[in-house]
A and B are shown apart, each in its own frame.
Chain A
Amino acid sequence: MSEQRSHVGSPVLRRDLFAKVTGSAKYTVDITPSGTLHAKVVRSSHAHARITRINREQALRTPGVVAVVIAEDLKDLFSRFGHIVPDHCILATGKVRYYGEPVALVVAETLFAAEDGAAAVEVEYEDLVALMNPAEALAQDAPLIHEEFYRAATDESFAAMAAAPTPEEEAGERDNVAHTVEIGWGDVDAAFADAHLVVEDGPVHYPMLYAYAMEPYNAVADFHDGQLSVVSTAQHPFMVRTDLARIFDLPLSRVRVEAPYLGGGYGSKSYTKVEPLAAVGSWATGRPVKLVLDVEEAIYTTRADSADVTVRSAFDADGTIIAREFDLVLDSGAYADNSPLVLAKAVNRCFGPYRVPNVRARGRSVYTNTSPASSYRGFGAPQGALAGELNLERAARELGLDSFEIRRRNLVRPGEEILPGKRGIDADLLADLEMLSDSLNSHASADSAIGIGFTASDAGAFPVSTAQVRLQVDGSVLVLSGSTEMGQGSESALAQIAAHELGVPLESVSIAQSDTIGPYERTTGASRTTTLAGLALQRACTDAKQKVAEMAAEVFGVPATDIESIEGGVRVGDKSPVGFGEVISRWFGAAAGEVTGVGLLRRDGVTKKMPPFWEVGVVGVDLAIDPDTGVIRVQQLATVADVGFAINPRAVEGQDLGAATQGLGGALFEELVYDGPQLTNPNIVEYRVPRMQDLPERIDTMIAARGDGVGPYGAKGAGEGTLNPIAAAVAGAVAKATGKWPTRVPLTPERVWRLMNDLPEDGD
């Protein structure tokens, strides 16, 4: 292998980090075009109420205020958004559905003027019955949160992923269920009747979480001459573009959405958030409008679905799972957003990476008068895994097996299907289990309580990806990708792939990303970039090389069969190598021109079978619990990233430790708590995330690279899997240490202490 060839599989320094350490890297929040107006949102102070009057006179008289936009101003637009169900009002229309919902947008010359103006907007409400949790929303006499049915977007891909409303849902009577998913196979009832052991758990509660991407949602929009340009903290600029085009009835080609570096994403910046607000502000004033949320507003914009999960599993005498039955209820908040898909994934992922011959799983995503829930790293998997893995632990105890052994007996083998008819598992979970076992057990101490968790996520989302590679006359390379750089390292990984494919130095490759005037990328989520954008990029490189070879044949007057593609260029017969740049220059007859290679990926060929790949989660923790205080100390954290091939091993380890740390946050500290109509802790003082002193004492982030993915060089996705089973592993370890079964996370010191002392887990 030549030097260039080592660009993949080695821990090259990430190129974006240089700009980020000097402060020169530009994030959306750093971009303020000249003439920009600043916006502030007036938000609902009621959870569920009719809006009886909005008085904006005083606000409009505030010095510097240019406009106050309310729902009635939008009646000539399509004033809602939502990529699956377009139910989400840009500004509350007729009524508010949650505390914190945008009611008016004040646009002013300065941020201070906008804030002063927002404080002067008077809104009067007439309260409706607020439904603050799924039990209230599902009650017989519950009022409707959405009286209307909003016809689903027609994107087949959501139907393929079980997220689009079914014809029955469309035709049925209205209730507060946003979406229902049911899957199953085998004869569940017969299996339970024949079982040696049946173990039940639940409801097990997974909390409402806030991803806390540290750059809050913000966008700057410029609407003029029938064109809309938006710069935004969007993971999926192309998806946002679709929503914006529908709002203003514009062709997709007249809407541009750019996403510069994102200050964190973790799924929470998937799909449309504040872009429509900034856009209607600009539409109303004819000037660029910038809207930057604070953290409290961001929490009220998107959170993760909380879940109550009930599980029942049946076992043979030797510990073989013979059936599992799940019921999941997700609290999806006031608007559907991505919750139908989160639900579909939660249902697909709840029963784990095990051979389960008989399955029945039902999930409901329920509207409540709480902040809207949507994607968060892991995407339904952590919610189901907490109950499912805890249930497996309980079975292990009753069967006299240890945590590893019951999984050895049930984990699927490579190639076996988890979901019937879907791609078989592309990972060696048994080998991963032994890595995990060796790591944890070789460092266990007398007070160790070891908990482990396994998950498998049907990842990669829907495979639609494109890439362009532009070879320049000086031999440098410009790669265009629609994938967003949100910290995960795609900029660097894509450069590594391009350098490898073209055989050029890494330094000669530049990447331009996530701008809808560039090539299309469906999403940056579901851990898809390395695999799917990577495959599209490989194809673009192949296309570019082929075009150069054809040009070389013409330039040198030889048959195409005499041209050999080599690293960085071509060889003509047995003559000296000629670089890409020289071929291009000679073909155009000037030191000018370029060659564009195009790579397209769809649901075909290696990515025909869904999901494109499985992302497994293989984790273990070793906890020590203080019996007097209930404080948990994480003595060991061990993770296995079963990634097929690590394009950049250091970056993979970084993703895994980051994911595990976020998982530990949800397992130990993090929970949004509603008390009445509003959250008690919509801030980072009271919503506690992991800090440096919470670091586990020993960390072992292992990589299993067996070349079993469909992506470049056998790679498959990473970055989410390790979060998914962490809460389950922690809860399992707490069960071992205390002899009591937790029914919810986070396992705060008080909850653990209560568990140990046979008190209810919550004091209230």
Chain B
Amino acid sequence: MSEQELGRTVTTTVNGTEVSRYVLNRSTLAQFLRDDLGLTGTKLSCELQVCGVCSVLVDRSPVSACTYLAVDVDGRQVETVEGLAQGDSLHPLQQAFVEEFALQCGFCTSGFLMMSVALLRKNPDPSEEQIKEYLDGNICRCTGYAPIVEAVQLAASRMREEGNV
């Protein structure tokens, strides 16, 4: 097969920076982010779209980077955990996750953060039930979830106060 049949060049914006790379057709977005761009904050686990670990935002919507093909981000905006903090200043969700002990091993955390970002953009004042429903597709094996709910509530209230949504 020719090089063109095996892959193609994609141009995409990742955390605000435009990048152009040749990617194989069979490459996933997770492989593109981790192996080509070195953005290893996005993790992989179930690889079947049910654990939420690899959640990133494409054009502001959550997708599972484990199965989303890299060629499909051509012309789109990608947001990953590496884009949340502004310099040394943590995003309110990151800060709240630390303060509420909403992670232990941390392997699921990027996915929870990105899903929570998407949730709070849609709904700045979610109820406990709405948080649980929205994040039910993300698995955490360490915390037992309650601290994650508390962290999202804390971040949401701070972001509302700061008009930061």
What residues on A are CB-neighbors of B47 within 8 Å? 294-295
Residue of A nearest to B107 (CB): A263
Shortest beta-carbon distance from B149 to chain A in Å: 7
A654 and B147 in contact (CB under 8 A), knowing A21-B113, A23-B41, A683-B46?
Answer: yes
- Is B148's beta carbon under 8 Å from chain A? yes
The answer to whether B139 and A266 have CB atoms under 8 Å apart is no
Q: Report which residue of A21, A261, A693, A699 has the largest number of chain B beta carbons within 10 angstroms of its beta carbon.
A: A21
Residue of A nearest to B85 (CB): A22
The answer to whether B26 and A691 have CB atoms under 8 Å apart is no
A657 and B144 in contact (CB under 8 A), knowing A21-B98, A22-B90, A489-B104?
Answer: yes
Q: Point out the residue from B40, B81, B90 that lies within 8 Å of A30, measured CB to CB.
A: B40
Q: Point out the residue from A23, A215, A653, A691 that lies within 8 Å of B45, measured CB to CB.
A: A215
What residues on B are CB-neighbors of A699 within 8 Å? 144, 146
A261 and B139 in contact (CB under 8 A), knowing A23-B42, A658-B144?
Answer: no
The answer to whether A650 and B101 have CB atoms under 8 Å apart is yes
CB neighbors of B among A83-105 (8 A) = none
What residues on A are CB-neighbors of B53 within 8 Å? 214
C-alpha spacing A465/B47, complex, angstroms: 38
Residue of A nearest to B104 (CB): A487
C-alpha spacing A692/B97, complex, angstroms: 16
A490-534 toward B: CB 8 Å interface, digit per residue (1/0)?
000000000000000000000000000000000000000000000
Shortest beta-carbon distance from A339 to chain B in Å: 22
Shortest beta-carbon distance from B12 to chain A in Å: 18
The answer to whether B107 and A657 have CB atoms under 8 Å apart is no
C-alpha spacing A11/B101, complex, angstroms: 10
C-alpha spacing A214/B51, complex, angstroms: 9
A657 and B149 in contact (CB under 8 A), knowing A22-B41, A23-B82, A112-B24?
Answer: no
Shortest beta-carbon distance from A145 to chain B in Å: 31
- Is B103's beta carbon under 8 Å from chain A? yes
The answer to whether B97 and A17 have CB atoms under 8 Å apart is yes
- Is A201's beta carbon under 8 Å from chain B? no
- Is A267's beta carbon under 8 Å from chain B? no
The answer to whether A684 and B103 have CB atoms under 8 Å apart is no
Task: Give the number of chain A interface residues (Cβ < 8 Å).
Answer: 56
What residues on A are CB-neighbors of B149 within 8 Å? 692, 695
Pick from B57-65, B117-125, B130-138 the stretch touching chain A: B130-138
What residues on A are CB-neighbors of B141 within 8 Å? 211-214, 264, 266, 658, 662, 689
- Is A644's beta carbon under 8 Å from chain B? no
Shortest beta-carbon distance from B81 to chain A in Å: 4
The answer to whether B105 and A262 have CB atoms under 8 Å apart is yes
A295 and B109 in contact (CB under 8 A), knowing A23-B81, A693-B133?
Answer: no
What residues on B are CB-neighbors of A264 within 8 Å? 105, 107, 141-142
Residue of B nearest to A211 (CB): B141
The answer to whether B106 and A651 have CB atoms under 8 Å apart is no
What residues on B are CB-neighbors of A685 within 8 Å? 46, 48, 50
C-alpha spacing A265/B141, complex, angstroms: 10
CB neighbors of B among A680-737 (8 A) = 683-685, 689-693, 695, 699
What residues on A are CB-neighbors of B24 within 8 Å? 112
- Is A488's beta carbon under 8 Å from chain B? yes
The answer to whether A24 and B136 have CB atoms under 8 Å apart is no
Residue of B nearest to A264 (CB): B105
C-alpha spacing A262/B107, complex, angstroms: 8
Residue of A nearest to B53 (CB): A214
Shortest beta-carbon distance from A213 to chain B in Å: 7
B interface, size bucket: 35 or more
A693 and B136 in contact (CB under 8 A), knowing A215-B43, A262-B105?
Answer: yes
Residue of A nearest to B108 (CB): A214
A22 and B144 in contact (CB under 8 A), knowing A13-B99, A489-B104?
Answer: no
The answer to whether A487 and B97 have CB atoms under 8 Å apart is no
Shortest beta-carbon distance from B39 to chain A in Å: 7
The answer to whether B46 and A684 have CB atoms under 8 Å apart is yes
The answer to whether A488 and B26 have CB atoms under 8 Å apart is no
Q: Point out the residue from A20, A23, A112, A261 that lies within 8 Å of B80, measured CB to CB.
A: A23
Shortest beta-carbon distance from B91 to chain A in Å: 8
The answer to whether A486 and B51 have CB atoms under 8 Å apart is no
C-alpha spacing A27/B148, complex, angstroms: 21
The answer to whether B43 and A29 have CB atoms under 8 Å apart is yes
C-alpha spacing A32/B109, complex, angstroms: 22
The answer to whether B48 and A692 have CB atoms under 8 Å apart is no
- Is A18's beta carbon under 8 Å from chain B? yes
What residues on B are CB-neighbors of A547 within 8 Å? none
- Is B110's beta carbon under 8 Å from chain A? yes
What residues on B are CB-neighbors of A30 within 8 Å? 34, 40
The answer to whether A658 and B104 have CB atoms under 8 Å apart is yes
What residues on B are CB-neighbors of A661 within 8 Å? 143-145
Residue of B nearest to A20 (CB): B106
C-alpha spacing A14/B106, complex, angstroms: 12
Residue of B nearest to A22 (CB): B85
What residues on B are CB-neighbors of A26 within 8 Å? 40
Q: Point out the residue from A23, A211, A295, A692 that lies within 8 Å of B40, measured CB to CB.
A: A23
Shortest beta-carbon distance from A364 to chain B in Å: 30
Q: Point out the residue from A266, A655, A660, A693 that lies within 8 Å of B132, measured CB to CB.
A: A693
C-alpha spacing A27/B43, complex, angstroms: 10
What residues on B are CB-neighbors of A21 within 8 Å? 81, 90, 94, 97-98, 103, 106, 109, 113
C-alpha spacing A18/B94, complex, angstroms: 8
A14 and B139 in contact (CB under 8 A), knowing A657-B146, A684-B48, A699-B146?
Answer: no
Q: Point out the residue from A13, A658, A660, A684 that lies within 8 Å of B139, measured CB to CB.
A: A684
Q: Report which residue of B35, B99, B109 has the largest number of chain A beta carbons within 10 angstroms of its beta carbon.
A: B109
- Is B154's beta carbon under 8 Å from chain A? no
- Is B73's beta carbon under 8 Å from chain A? no
CB neighbors of B among A449-506 (8 A) = 486-489
Residue of A nearest to B46 (CB): A684
A487 and B142 in contact (CB under 8 A), knowing A13-B99, A22-B82?
Answer: yes
- Is B84's beta carbon under 8 Å from chain A? yes
The answer to whether B98 and A265 have CB atoms under 8 Å apart is no
The answer to whether A295 and B133 have CB atoms under 8 Å apart is no
What residues on B are CB-neighbors of A32 within 8 Å? 35
C-alpha spacing A651/B104, complex, angstroms: 9
What residues on A are CB-neighbors of B101 within 8 Å? 11, 14, 17, 650-651, 653-654
What residues on A are CB-neighbors of B110 within 8 Å? 23
The answer to whether A695 and B144 have CB atoms under 8 Å apart is yes
What residues on A are CB-neighbors of B46 within 8 Å? 295, 683-685
The answer to whether B90 and A216 have CB atoms under 8 Å apart is no
Q: Report which residue of A30, A112, A261, A692 has the largest number of chain B beta carbons within 10 angstroms of its beta carbon.
A: A692
A225-269 toward B: CB 8 Å interface, digit per residue (1/0)?
000000000000000000000000000000000000111111000
Offer 16 A-B interface pairs, CB within 8 angstroms, sorted by A: A14-B101, A20-B109, A22-B85, A23-B39, A23-B81, A29-B40, A112-B24, A212-B141, A213-B107, A215-B43, A295-B46, A661-B145, A692-B131, A692-B138, A693-B133, A695-B146
Q: Name 4 extra pairs, CB < 8 A, besides A214-B53, A295-B47, A658-B142.
A: A23-B80, A683-B46, A689-B141, A699-B146
Among all A-B residue pairs, the 7 with the closest Cβ atoms: A23-B41, A487-B105, A20-B106, A263-B107, A657-B144, A487-B104, A661-B144
Seen from chain A, the residues whose Cβ lies within 8 Å of a Cβ on chain B are: 11, 13-14, 16-18, 20-27, 29-30, 32, 112, 211-216, 261-266, 294-295, 486-489, 650-651, 653-655, 657-658, 660-662, 683-685, 689-693, 695, 699
Seen from chain B, the residues whose Cβ lies within 8 Å of a Cβ on chain A are: 24, 26, 34-35, 39-48, 50-51, 53, 80-82, 84-85, 90, 94, 97-99, 101, 103-110, 113, 131-133, 135-139, 141-149
